[in-house]
Structure 1
């Protein structure tokens, strides 16, 4: 009787997880495990509880499991609707959204949501759908149409203002456009302009910041972030405090780290937002360079596996969607680690599956579910 019950339980277990990509699943569990261990230390003296993080992780993996069961064809059919609803919600936010800390980013529809998070998934969905429809008859002007599709939500998000999310949505869309075959002769001039801009900021930025020059089309807080990046010591107890303290924490961890719960920067309250945006600084201080190498190896494995799933996808829609979602994970990790390490301006970008959060974790779970779905249904989708 007991043996029969065990066999039945095994069948149920394997039926639940059948079709999921094991490699991807193990990588995500590894990152989530690191995140939860770090959260237990980083959340000390904060109002959040470990039960909250467990709930968020469980919800994220539940969303991943549900989405993994949805055939990519269904996602393709829903793409326009999801994009349209997302843009409509962004317009609603602009008209009567909730204002918190000087930004209008949230909408109360019985419960509070942040519609810009939806666009991180809606954007690659919509552009993958568009280029799938234009496959075989694609013209140069299709990239112009794609730019308009991308530009509308990016501008709506940027004016909230929420530059960090706007850049993530822009990156998600650009990945789809580039993977769809955007010619290098169009990409290189923009890369050149961007590189020139960075060089000019490095050379003249400190002088401009020192003279308090007004920057056109840039909010004051955005200008301050760039100026702080160039010289955080110019205001060590004000605008530069976050960057300086996070870099001290990373450096003080050494090779092996100070040990779990032993991080002085974190537990003496020097690191701001230590369980969310700056969780990497807490992890670095307590687990050192060795811990960082393990985390980076997991992120590398995540990107590698995601691109492998995308490369083996059977049609253009799934290839573009899978590739874009995978590169979103890369962008999240790159921007967050660069920000905390003092290499990029401070923006509100969480570290995937490591930072505490609800909406962002659900979005990441949705993205992981898309990759699982592409892998699970790859033989069922016709080229």
Structure 2
């Protein structure tokens, strides 16, 4: 492989936008993880803490999260570079093995996994906590792309589509058992995004999706009205619907959303300044370095900062769509579409839940929220996109 030609044909727009988002995320994670309450408990005066300079606040920052995230970025970057070198067409030889490995990893979580915040999602391997459901998203994209490419021109009715739902339903079911509703919904977005491209009748896919969504809404309404059974615990259902009226449970399920709205709504045009967000400063905003990282960004950088991040994500997704459109084969197109579907869904849901227009599902903001497994998986996905872009023309090397 000609390294000079490889470098020349890289998608520098995608790489540049990704780098900007990640660097910015490290800054915001540092700000979000600063524990001023700890300093107050040591007897430091609140007024002096609030009047402190940015430099002084940087000294108070809990750098552990930033260091760990930076290490995850390095690992993910190296892994992505390795992915770029292996022609994506060769992945089709191992999709069956990947599918089985994926099921084994997800199944092992139910036996060996550690529990945190009511969910059993992590496997502790000593120096690193691994979340198989994160890597499962990328694996299902790669194996489903091969599954659908082999059925090109054959997906014309529901009967022919049914095996696709079963294929994705097995790993999705294991994720639901953890329970991890948010990630299982990502699987749904990936499945329908890829089916829309693979099926010869996209209107059929749209109809199935609309019908399924209507059925879910109807089932939830029936449960609330008549007590009909649904496969969710009450606390899970409450988290899903609390965005409709977070003030109905101020100290409970609605607390996160309310504090997020206060943080974003009080930011103004320019924001309150780096490390000066009061909701983060006074620790009102919970899990602010993961699920609600966008709230911290908006509070400190204001409307313009939030808008800039959305623009960066828009460019990122646009490049993903272009790569899908320019792929030389259906397999590459389906992988790119699956990755774009994954990122788009998580971005919309995460930002939507911070402003109370989407359910609180616990999904991280891609490339921005703290989380090693998520960051590595996202960078691997970007490596896959670059791989497809490099080989968009036959015999490019």
TM-score (norm. length: structure 1)? 0.87
1:27 aligns with 2:45: no
1:112-131 equivalence runs, <5 A: 112-131=129-148
1:63 aligns with 2:79: yes
Residue pair 1:35, 1:353 contacting (<8 A) in 2 also: yes
CA–CA distance in structure 1, aligned partners of residues 200 and 185 of structure 2: 19
Structure 2 partner of 1:80: 96
CA–CA distance in structure 1, aligned partners of residues 217 and 307 of structure 2: 28
CA–CA distance in structure 2, aligned partners of residues 96 and 34 of structure 1: 35
Structure 1 partner of 2:162: 144
Moved more, 224-233 or 180-189: 180-189
Moved more, 263-272 or 47-56: 47-56
CA–CA distance in structure 2, aligned partners of residues 139 and 185 of structure 1: 8
Deviation for aligned residue 1:126? 1.3
What do residues 77-122 of structure 1 show as CA deviations (whole Å, max 9, x unaligned)?
A: 2222212100122223334433334323233566643221122011
Deviation for aligned residue 1:39? 1.6
Q: In structure 2, do the counterparts of structure 1 residues 47 and 25 end up closer, same or farther at CA, with 3 Å as the change threshold?
A: closer
Structure 2 partner of 1:162: 180
CA–CA distance in structure 2, aligned partners of residues 232 and 32 of structure 1: 31
CA–CA distance in structure 2, aligned partners of residues 327 and 381 of structure 1: 28
What do residues 275-296 of structure 1 show as CA deviations (whole Å, max 9, x unaligned)?
A: 1110100000011111111111
Name the SS of the counterpart of 1:48 in structure 2.
helix
Moved more, 231-240 or 160-169: 231-240
Give unmatched runs, 5+ long, in structure 1. Answer: 1-12
CA–CA distance in structure 2, aligned partners of residues 89 and 200 of structure 1: 31
Give unmatched runs, 5+ long, in structure 2. Answer: 36-61
Structure 2 partner of 1:5: none
1:34-49 equivalence runs, <5 A: 34-45=24-35, 48-49=64-65
CA–CA distance in structure 2, aligned partners of residues 311 and 186 of structure 1: 20
Residue pair 1:215, 1:223 contacting (<8 A) in 2 also: no
Residue pair 2:353, 2:359 contacting (<8 A) in 1 also: yes
TM-score (norm. length: structure 2)? 0.84
Deviation for aligned residue 1:150? 0.8
Moved more, 350-359 or 177-186: 177-186
What do residues 252-311 of structure 1 show as CA deviations (whole Å, max 9, x unaligned)?
A: 011111111111111110111111110100000011111111111111111111100110
1:230 aligns with 2:244: yes
What is the aligned counterpart of 1:218 among 232, 236, 260?
232
Q: In structure 2, do the counterparts of structure 1 residues 359 and 191 end up closer, same or farther at CA, with 3 Å as the change threshold?
A: same
Name the SS of the counterpart of 2:64 in structure 1.
coil
CA–CA distance in structure 2, aligned partners of residues 119 and 62 of structure 1: 19
1:175 aligns with 2:189: no
For this pair of structures, how many residues does the alignment match? 366
Q: In structure 2, do the counterparts of structure 1 residues 188 and 138 end up closer, same or farther at CA, with 3 Å as the change threshold?
A: closer
Q: In structure 2, do the counterparts of structure 1 residues 378 and 345 end up closer, same or farther at CA, with 3 Å as the change threshold?
A: same
CA–CA distance in structure 1, aligned partners of residues 184 and 213 of structure 2: 17
What do residues 24-63 of structure 1 show as CA deviations (whole Å, max 9, x unaligned)?
A: 1111012112212212211212573422222122222222
Deviation for aligned residue 1:189? 4.7
CA–CA distance in structure 2, aligned partners of residues 227 and 376 of structure 1: 43
Residue pair 1:64, 1:365 contacting (<8 A) in 2 also: yes
Structure 2 partner of 1:337: 351
Deviation for aligned residue 1:128? 0.9
Task: Quote the RMSD (CA, aligned, Å).
Answer: 2.7
Moved more, 370-379 or 191-200: 191-200
Q: In structure 2, do the counterparts of structure 1 residues 295 and 112 end up closer, same or farther at CA, with 3 Å as the change threshold?
A: closer
What do residues 210-249 of structure 1 show as CA deviations (whole Å, max 9, x unaligned)?
A: x9x5752111221121342222112212221111000000
Residue pair 2:349, 2:358 contacting (<8 A) in 1 also: yes
CA–CA distance in structure 1, aligned partners of residues 141 and 156 of structure 2: 19
What is the aligned counterpart of 2:329 among 269, 294, 315?
315
Residue pair 1:157, 1:163 contacting (<8 A) in 2 also: yes
